[in-house]
Every structure is written in structure tokens, then in C-alpha cells.
Amino acid sequence: MRYRRTHVIAILCACLLSTASAQVAKRRTVSKGPRALGLIEVDSKGRGHLMPITIMLDGRFYDASAYKADPIPMAVQPGTVYEGMKAGVSQGLFTVNNTLPHNGWLGLGNWKSHEQIEAEKDQAKARADKLAQKAPEDDKAGGPPRLSRTPEGAHPKAMDAKTSDQSKTADDDEGRPKLKKKSVDSQPSVADSGAASLAAAEAGRPVLRRQLQAEEQEQAKIGPDTEPLKGTLQLIPAISDDEGPQPRPYTFETKPEENEAFMKKMSAMAAEEVKHRIETLSGNNTKTKTGRPSAPELHDPQLKVLDISGTNEAVLIYSAIANSPGRQFSTTVVARQDIYGDLHKIFAHTTDNNHLDVQPRYEFIDAVDADGDGRGELLFRQVGESGSGFAIYRVIGDRLWPLFESKPGS
């Protein structure tokens, strides 16, 4: 009897888990593409440009700087709208206005934060309310003269005859072809952001998220701003997808003592990586009395703790630099926390300034949903001796799986 009861409970639990999983899968909207990923650089004056990275279509990634280039790539076509993200939280919109050949292609345009967008909406509403206010009724005695609807001296019968002739003319024109006018109600809303005219002109060609036609005409009046960006640049990953899933935050809440413990453990992992790098370069000749290679102190440590899967499991990305005579090392370590609180190193990369031609430096940018499945991927910039490139990795268990990599300087 006990066996049968346990067996029934197990079946019920399995059914409930299966139903819950099916409901979650049903709610999740997965993008089939095209879904473009770019990196926005914004200066202190709010001016920005966009570097295209990838375009995902049916689960496959393509280099956005060359995809459907004729000669301008699809990712930086004027009128394309990108939504800037930080840790999965929307920051604002970037609209491509012009393009510039620059190590491939660069999208020039306007960056507007959500605060700026809301302020413009409030200003437009205030102007509309002001125009909608009715003027007070003029006093009949002292008011200005008004035009009469019926011409002075016209006989009512003559007016009736004229109206009858106009109606007859309209009836005669019923068989003539007429231009179809779009009603005001049929105009797309700002949230639609689809380019119906472009889709009709390029039937069958995938289209990224685009601005309204009226906004595009207004944007076309603005000349290209080719002046280089100045000051400290803010890096904002951005997505353009006409039908993609809604973004969700990737933040992982930590207490100060937890964050301090994470920093200590990740610094220890990074120090081991730098020691191993020094040992490899020195050929095991430079050792301390303990038999281990000496390692310089780590500086400028950066730590990001994210929940990219939505399962409350922390993924930690750590980076730091270390100086030694004639060399500067840079190290990046990625670790995953298990259900017991232990950290597992799943990725490590260490290089120095003398070997950037063969081992570029890894700079973590942010977590971003590159493939539109609701989970976050890790976006890195690879900085080499000949230039920079990008890499996108998916966390699978205790390893990073590369989804896209472009060679530095390509």
C-alpha cells in the first residue's frame, strides 16, 4: 500500500512539473529573426553611433557588417530602430540616420533615453492641448466681422441648383478610378515600429524594426554627423527585432558581504591564471622559494554578477590587470555558482601587451539576449594588436559555448 501511494504521488508531481514547464514554454516568445545586435557608443553630449555585430536568422548568426550589403548592410539601413539594453533593462532607442564606412560600416543617428522620449511626449501633449483650447466667443456687437456661408445677394433657388449640379457631377464620377487615401485611424502607432512600405517594396525580404514613415521623412532632413565622439563613451548593447520577445532584467541581487566574498574568490582564481601565464612565458625559470612563479598584484578589478537564465543562479564575470616590468597582463574569468554556493570556473583568458597579436584582450560588455530565446548571452569585445572584434558566448553547464566570434580588426 505504501509503495502504491508513493508511486501515485510521484506521478502527480511529474504531471504538475510537466504542466508548469509547458505553460512556461508556451508563454515564452522565441524570435525567428531577423534579430540584429549592435553596440551603441554615446558621448557626454548624447551623440552616438552604432557598430553592427550580428544578425540572427532562424537560429544562425551572420556578420552584421556584411549581411545583405548592397552596399549598405541591412543592420544599418537608415530608419532602423535599436533598443538599448543594460543587464536586460531597456535604456532607450537609437535610430539609424546615416551610415559611414569605418572599419566596415558605422550607423550614425540619434540616441534618446526613455526620459528624453517621455519628456518629448509631454511637450507634444502640452502643445496639442494648447491648440485644442477653444477661443472665447466674440461679442456680437464688438467682435470682428465674420464671413457668410451664403454669398451676399445669391438667390436660394440658384444655390439649390448649383448644389444639384455638383451632386450630379459626383454621381457621374462614380465609375472613374480614384486614389485610395489612408484614413487617420489606420496610421501605425509608435509601438508598431514596422515598415509596411519597405516590406511591400521588398517583398519576401526580412525587415528589422523600423521607425514610422513620418519620422523617417523628418529624420532624412538631418545631415550626417561625422564628427568623432568625444570624452568618455558609454557602451550600450542594442537589439533590433520587429517581433522579438520582451526583455527581462538579468540582475542578481547580492548583499554587501556576499559581494565581498565573490570578489575574494574570483580574485584568487584570476591570480592563479596570471601565475600560470607568467610560468608559461618564463619557461618555468622564474620561481619563488615555494616553487611557484611570482605574480604581480591585481589592479582595477571589475566584477559583474548576473542571473542570465532566470533561475536565480549566479554567473560571475571578473576582470583585472596586473603590471610587471615590461609587461601588463589582463585577465578575464567567468564562473558559475551551483546550488550549494560553490563557484565553478567555466572560462578564463589571460594575455599580456606583448602578445595581443595572437591572444587578444577580452573586455566584458554586458549580457544580452542575442538569439531571442529569453536567456542572456555574454558579449565580449576582443581587442588585438590590429583592431577589435566581438564574441558572443552562451553558458551551458560548466562551459561557455561560442555562438559568434569575429576576428579583431576584421
Condensed to tens digits (0 to 9), the pLDDT of residues 105-143 reads 999 988 999 998 899 889 998 988 888 886 555 555 555
Is residue 180's pLDDT more than 50? Answer: no
> Can you tell me the distance from the alpha carbon of 264 to that of 333, in angstroms, rounded to the nearest whole number?
13
pLDDT at residue 29 in the model:
67
**Summary mean pLDDT of the chain:** 78
In terms of DSSP H, where are the helices of 184-223?
Answer: 196-201, 213-220
Distance between start and end Cα atoms, the chain: 69
In this structure, of 48-52, 196-200, 313-317, 369-373, the range with the lowest mean pLDDT score is: 196-200
Burial degree of 355 (CB within 10 A; 0-12, 13-18, 19+) = middle
Give just the sign of the alpha carbon dihedral 186, 190, 191, 193.
positive
> Can you tell me the distance from the alpha carbon of 11 to that of 155, in angstroms, rounded to the nearest whole number?
92
For residue 361 the three cell numbers come to 584582450
Which residues are bridge partners to 362 per DSSP? 382
pLDDT at residue 47 in the model:
82
> Can you tell me the distance from the alpha carbon of 376 to that of 392, in angstroms, rounded to the nearest whole number?
10
Contacts 24+ apart (CB under 8 A), 257-264: 259/303, 259/305, 262/303, 262/305, 262/314, 262/316, 262/343, 263/301, 263/303, 263/318
Dihedral pair phi/psi, residue 292, rounded to 5°: -105, 150
Q: What is the pLDDT of residues 7-26, one digit of tens each?
A: 444 444 444 444 444 433 34
pLDDT at residue 104 in the model:
81
> Can you tell me the distance from the alpha carbon of 48 to that of 236, in angstroms, rounded to the nearest whole number?
10
Q: What is the pLDDT of residues 224-282, one digit of tens each?
A: 555 777 778 899 999 999 877 788 999 999 999 999 999 999 999 999 999 999 988 88
Assign 206 a pLDDT band (cuts: 50, 70, 90): low
In terms of DSSP H, where are the helices of 133-211?
Answer: 156-172, 196-201
Q: What is the pLDDT of residues 60-78, one digit of tens each?
A: 999 999 999 989 999 999 9
Tell me, what DSSP letter sits at residue 262?
H
Is residue 389's pLDDT more than 90? Answer: yes
For residue 288 the three cell numbers come to 619563488
Distance of CA 19 to the CA centre of its chain: 32
Q: What is the mean pLDDT of residues 47-58?
A: 93
> Can you tell me the distance from the alpha carbon of 370 to that of 31, in angstroms, rounded to the nearest whole number?
10
pLDDT at residue 228 in the model:
72
> Can you tell me the distance from the alpha carbon of 374 to that of 307, in angstroms, rounded to the nearest whole number?
12
- Please give the order of strands across the beta sheet that includes 343-352: 298-306, 315-324, 327-337, 343-352
Domain locations in the chain as residue ranges: 35-116+193-240, 256-405
Q: Are 193 and 81 in contact (CB under 8 A)?
A: yes
Is residue 308's pLDDT more than 60? Answer: yes
* Strand, coil or helix: 221: coil
